[in-house]
Amino acid sequence: MTEKKQKGGKHKSVQKAGMGFVWAVLGCIVCAALVYLIGYSGLFAMRYSGVGDAEAATTTQKTIVIPPPSLDKNAYNIKLLFLAHVATSSPWYTYFLTGTTTGTTTVKKQLWPVKTVYPNYGALLPANRIVAYYGNFYSTGMGVLGEYPPNVMIPKLLEAAAEWKAADPATPVIPAIDYIAVTAQGSPGSDGMYRLRMPDSQIDEAVALAKQVNGIVILDVQVGDSKVSTEVPLLAKYLEMPNVHLALDPEFDMSPGVKPGTVIGTMSYIEINWAANYLANLVRTYNLPPKILIVHRFTEDMVTGASKITPLPEVQIVMDMDGWGFAAKKINTYNTVIAPEPVQFTGFKLFYKNDLLPPSTALMTPSQVLKLTPAPSFIQYQ
């Protein structure tokens, strides 16, 4: 009996010890749970009181919407007045800045600067001046791009840009590769359109050269017997790039069956506006900075309905005087064809060779060109 009691007593003590261990474990678990809950509640309170981590704060605080940068319209207008050589003392200076378009009965309204739609933020003009080298890589006679290898052409372009910067220190200069992507042809070709489209490899080279000078690309289009609405969309993958812009050459917009070069072509404002709207759609679709559309002109008939050409917030339009000859002739063409029919901005073309043909003795200098009213925002060298 005694032995059994001892054994029984020992068994009961083991049971008690085991139960104590279980209760100790359960106690630890409960304590841990309480600590976790208390800690979590603290984090919870911090998170939803705006005191917690950045992620928590941003999920509960009001969303702050930062508006996109906008155009400084006052600075834009002042630059336009600067290009138009309007003195700050002129009554028209004040009228233009305050949005008046008629002035008074005693102050005649000026043609320049043009009061038209403001561009979207990121527009290149008028804050900058573009200095472009023009041509086609397949031809040595169409301009400097094809006449010189890149290791010669690039330094010349940068030197020209520096000359313009020196002549007008107030206006930064952007170099440009102005490549003829669609060239008018003397033969009709297989489709009878008198034009030749450049392969992508050549346009890719123009894009690569522009990167070398931290500049832009301008793709020139000479439609021949084709149409703007046919040729321009074929360049879409390039025009979708933020630094690629467009130029149209009405000289080579021919009537059906007419060979380019036999007569000076003509382009309607309808075609120009179509191109501008096409570019504007690309800008909106791909969230691009405003495009530039350049239209070459050196006779009245090259562009019909110029007063109906419509600049857009997404597209800035430059009317470029691209006639060649001695200085007085070029200035006269600018003053009779470009300046009297203001659209938005102007350009001026200089020919390294044709501008030196007799009776000319020298190429016009940047200082001479800048005296024109308005001073051109686009300069093209051929």
What single string gives the DSSP state of each residue in 168-186? -TTS-EEEEEEEEEEEE-S
The residue among 71, 196, 191 whose CA lies nearest residue 126 is: 71
- The SS3 call for residue 6 is helix
pLDDT of residue 271: 98
pLDDT tens string 7-48: 344 444 444 444 454 454 445 444 444 444 444 344 333 333
Dist CA 76 CA 118 (whole Å): 9
Cis peptide before 374 (omega within 30 of 0): yes
Q: In the chain, which stretches have pLDDT less than 70?
A: 1-62, 101-106
What single string gives the DSSP state of each residue in 290-310? PEEEEEEESSGGGEE-GGG--
Instruction: Give the Cα-Cα-Cα angle 337, 338, 339 (nearest 5 degrees).
Output: 110
Dist CA 43 CA 75 (whole Å): 51
pLDDT tens string 327-369: 999 999 999 999 999 999 999 999 999 999 999 999 999 999 9
**Domains with residue ranges and CATH for the chain:** 31-66 (no CATH), 69-115 (no CATH), 121-381 (3.20.20)
pLDDT of residue 15: 45
Cβ count within 10 A of residue 264 = 15
pLDDT of residue 37: 41
Which residues, 6+ apart, have CB-to-CB distance to 308 below 8 Å? Answer: 269, 273
pTM confidence score:
0.82
Which residues, 6+ apart, have CB-to-CB distance to 51 below 8 Å? Answer: 45, 57
Structure token pair of residue 194? 């008198």
Positive or negative CA dihedral for 241, 205, 225, 252?
positive
Give the residue ranges of DSSP H helices in 121-149: 144-147
Dist CA 367 CA 382 (whole Å): 19
pLDDT of residue 98: 87
Dist CA 346 CA 376 (whole Å): 5
Q: What are residue 316's DSSP bridge partners?
A: 292
Cβ count within 10 A of residue 95 = 19
SS3 assignment for 347-366: EEEECCCHHHCCCCCCCCCH
Q: What are residue 248's DSSP bridge partners?
A: 221, 295
Q: What are residue 296's DSSP bridge partners?
A: 320
pLDDT of residue 104: 57
Label residue 194 left, alpha or beta by phi (over 0 means left) and psi (-120 to 50 means alpha).
left
Which residues, 6+ apart, have CB-to-CB distance to 349 below 8 Å? Answer: 134, 296, 320, 321, 322, 323, 324, 379, 380, 381, 382
- What is the C-alpha R_g of the chain? 35
